[in-house]
Amino acid sequence: MKANTLKLAISLALSIPLLGCFGSDSSEDTASIEKAEIRLAMMQPPRTGLSPLSDDAFKLSRWSTAETLVNLNDEGNTEPMLATSWKQVDDMTWQFTVRENVQFHNGDTLDANSVVNSLNKALEAAPKPRILDGIEWEVRKLDDLTVEIKTTFNDPLLPSRLSSPQLSILAAQAYQENGRVVPIEVGTGPFVLTEIQGATSATLQRFDAYWGEKAKVETIIADYVPDGFARAAALRTGEADVVEAVPISQIAMIDSELLHEVSMPRTNTLYLNNQSEVFSKLEMRKTAAAAVDREQIIETVYENHADIAKGLLGPALPWANPLRSERAPIEEGLKASGEKIVIGTFTDRAELPEVAALLKQQLEAAGFDVELDIREYAQIENDALAGRFDAFILSRATVLDSGDPVAYMQSDFGCEGSFNLGQFCAQDVDAALDHADLQELGAPRQQAIIEAEKAILDHYAAIPLLHERVIQGESLRVSNAKRDPAERRLVDQKTEVK
């Protein structure tokens, strides 16, 4: 059976029973729902009860319920959000002016105290949000609408850092004495998060007291549908209006009018555990890198809807590749001698198990004995972070936190990085990342970033495979859904139903 035929058969077999992920009430007035409600099929369930200090913050951002001081526009440049302006007073001091007449969803008023409280809660969190890796700030109120931030180094990226959804500003009520953060009715966005149904769904309503343009949609139901075949089926049947990450294998079965391809700053990477018995050896890491056939993965799994990775940063950052120098090829003839390795990945992105199966074949052809461990992401993340795999396949956003790749590199490859799946630490890489982080935005910083990338790849700390083009699904009744390469918005106040 050919690969495409096999994919089709599996897809059809799985799609029918999985439609139950979406609840429905036959007593509801269908016409009313169509006018007032949008239903989302989200790829992953929350991991920490939608805490804004975790990766769950990006769901709150994509639903336009939590907001930050600073926004990144479509070009990745900073612009006002809850702060109307900012200035660098001296090398170590910034001042931010807080927007007036902003109301939290619980009725509290946004002011400098709110900002100081939220930022300090993030600084005190354990673990800290990734964007704060290696960062120590002193945050204080100057007056009711002015906040001062003192840094420990001249940080040109500070306004961009403050755009991270993990630094959303919430009402004081959100922060519990036990350290939990409960995001219900405490944001400032055009939609109020009113209900969290565990790992099943969340409900949001329009916030009529929003400080900006009012939302056109009354209700958002966000269903968590980690199975990609079920998400595709929900789009085909009209159960969902906006669908994250439609699997490539499902494209042929869906009306092309419903599909929108977005080039993403997202790299599919094989992280090698630099502390494992096998991949602590540089020669074994090189052997694995030499065994990988990227072209085969892209053609077979992604049906050419992806780009070959020439580094950690892909074509969504067009400045990266022209700055790269040619890397020396890996010596020929490298072979493993039956070394046993376990590779982990997750099912939430439908292509990754297929990538894992193909990598298993490629690495076994190079002499490795490969075992796969594939689960939902929520069930496997802790094991991955604890270094319990020899390698891990991850689809990783490279500019998600700040619009700048340095934060991602520090998090994933810095000795103190909070998302260091490869258990990697090298002094030359840390020095290169520190140097990059001190550079002004623009050409000097970009060059330093590529030099840091080279240092990481010279250690074979990880093997970048490909850069994704994510397929977003949208029903024809929806207009102005956000097709955001930065993955910070999915719906906003301009999104509407026809």
State residue 72's pLDDT score: 87
State residue 244's pLDDT score: 96
- Per residue in 341-376, pLDDT (tens digit) is 999 999 988 899 999 999 999 999 999 999 999 999
Four-way CATH pick for 263-469: 3.10.20.590, 3.40.50.300, 3.90.1150.10, 3.10.105.10: 3.10.105.10
**Gyration radius from the chain CA atoms:** 23
Q: How far is CA 258 from CA 119, 230, 425, 448, in A?
A: 40, 16, 44, 40
State residue 47's pLDDT score: 87
User: Domain spanning 3-64+181-262+470-497: which superfamily?
Assistant: Periplasmic binding protein-like II (3.40.190.10)
State residue 126's pLDDT score: 86
State residue 263's pLDDT score: 80
Bridge-based pairing state of the strands 242-243 and 462-474? antiparallel
> DSSP state, 217?
-
Give the C-alpha separation, 201 to 22, whole Å: 9
**Which residue bears the tokens 């007032």?**
36
User: Domain spanning 70-169: which superfamily?
Assistant: Dipeptide-binding Protein; Domain 1 (3.90.76.10)
**422 is written with which tokens?**
């490869």
> Interior CA angle at 170 toward 169 and 174, to 5°?
150
Give the C-alpha separation, 382 to 377, whole Å: 9
State residue 35's pLDDT score: 52
State residue 7's pLDDT score: 46
Instruction: Give Dmax (Cα) for the chain.
Output: 70
Q: Reduce the DSSP state of residue 347 to 3 states and report it.
A: coil
The structural domains of the chain, with segments of one domain joined by +, span: 3-64+181-262+470-497, 70-169, 263-469
State residue 441's pLDDT score: 81
Residues of the chain with pLDDT under 70: 1-35
Bridge-based pairing state of the strands 369-375 and 462-474? unpaired
